[in-house]
A and B are shown apart, each in its own frame.
Chain A
Amino acid sequence: MVEAKALVKRFGDFEAVRGIDLHVRRGEAFGFLGPNGAGKSSTMRMIACVSPRSDGELSVLGLDPDREGPRVRARLGFVPQQDNLDTELTVRQNLQVYGRYFGLSRAHVREKAHELMEFAQLTERADDEVEPLSGGMKRRLTIARSLVNDPELLLLDEPTTGLDPQARHLLWDRLFRLKSAGVTLIVTTHYMDEAEQLCDRLVVMDDGRVVAEGSPSELITRYSTREVLELRFAPGEQEGAVASVSDLGERVEVLPDRVLLYTPTGEAALERVHDRGVRPLSSLVRRSTLEDVFLRLTGRSLVD
């Protein structure tokens, strides 16, 4: 569906995307995970054929975006990072007017708008103006709008950023349905739980580069241990404690507010911490996540 080689995006002298390779297959849910400024949106916009590449090769749906932009755009759906709904029109009008730009008949868009409002749980607000809708509703409408042409490939740039947990879960559920209907999804996110939930395969991006690629569980197995022991200490005590427990994990990460011990068995490690007379204020054993993968790869957290 998407094929990229040494893809580059420059803004003036600044390189936002520094030569990435991608291969997205039909029917899969593919993710870009990375912190703000990693170049995710710039990459998505190139794939969406709204931003020309500066260098490298790119093919989307087998076509060259530079030469066949409108033809590619006709067949894909794009949810930009920032909603750009027509806030002075109603929910229904937003869907119908947008659908017409894809060459769809009036009768078709009327029918489709109805179906999409059901899908996005917006039927009750059908004839309300968009302006006063909640953030979650606007986001759902933007996603509904991106589906008006039955896209083969759906691009979602940070679909749930800024939404409350309930709204996020509702959106994830809709995206699962699309995936099982055969739509290829590409999602960017800086939430590791979103990447784990949604993506079959993902690339971790940092500073314009792809630093790792694989399924969420592959990445965790490759770059982290099964479990993580998190220890918090009273102010001033952390440094001394690190010295006495650092050999208990395969790897240690010292963060400003806590220490992470990477180990196959967190409980056993915690026992040994206690055996050595180290008394943390609190401790937590959890499974490794993509956050740990990112920390390992870049030395930084995903969300600051």
Chain B
Amino acid sequence: MATATFQIWRGTRESGEFKDYTTPISDGMVVLDAVHQIQAEQANDLAVRWNCKAGKCGSCSAEINGMPKLMCMTRLNQIPLDKPVRIEPMKTFPLIRDLVTDVSWNFEVKKTIRKFKPRKPDAPDGSWRMSQADVDRPQEFRKCIECFLCQDVCHVLRDHHMHGEFIGPRFMIYTAQLEMNPIDADDRLPDLRKSQGIGLCNITKCCTKVCPESIHITDNGIIPLKERVVDRFFDPLGRLFRKFGG
């Protein structure tokens, strides 16, 4: 039977190293299968997060040969197996153990974003009317499975560690879906500009490239938000129009 070797990061915040594991491989296997096989047969205590094994829960994020990916959606026939496959935890978040990182920062950030606030219902039964065309865009953003791979790859967080000033691409599109929800009545532009640091994004599009849900994070989310912020705060003519146009 064919085998492949996986170089997996083992260790904690304090210390660790890559360890080699060789394991049999078969048709259609994904990286997570290999990790599970190694866990069951060679390293019972190998720490890894997963839930759905179908790209739906966003638990199994890791860096595979340096590329941020979902382990459950990365098939072995898409990566070269003639040399060891390197699997390591996401680098932008503090390590807990092995492949598991502490992503709690993301959950804290979400709490700071103003929540959905609907306008009054359109019908007496408490429901609203919206056309499909008007919800297509926010629905695209709501496909997000919170894998945080985009956060992992964004240089503002990864290299510059500006976790305090910038909410990251995941929460840019989270805000975008709220702002673009046709029945939402709140305003998040002042926060975006100030505490959430939308100006720090310089549209490198690395986030879009890694998104397993193929969400157009930058083109459809961040750029339109930037435009709204610019219109509101930096465009004196527009401001004048708004003032007199009501």
Partners in one complex: no
Chain A residues in the interface with B (C-beta under 8 A): none
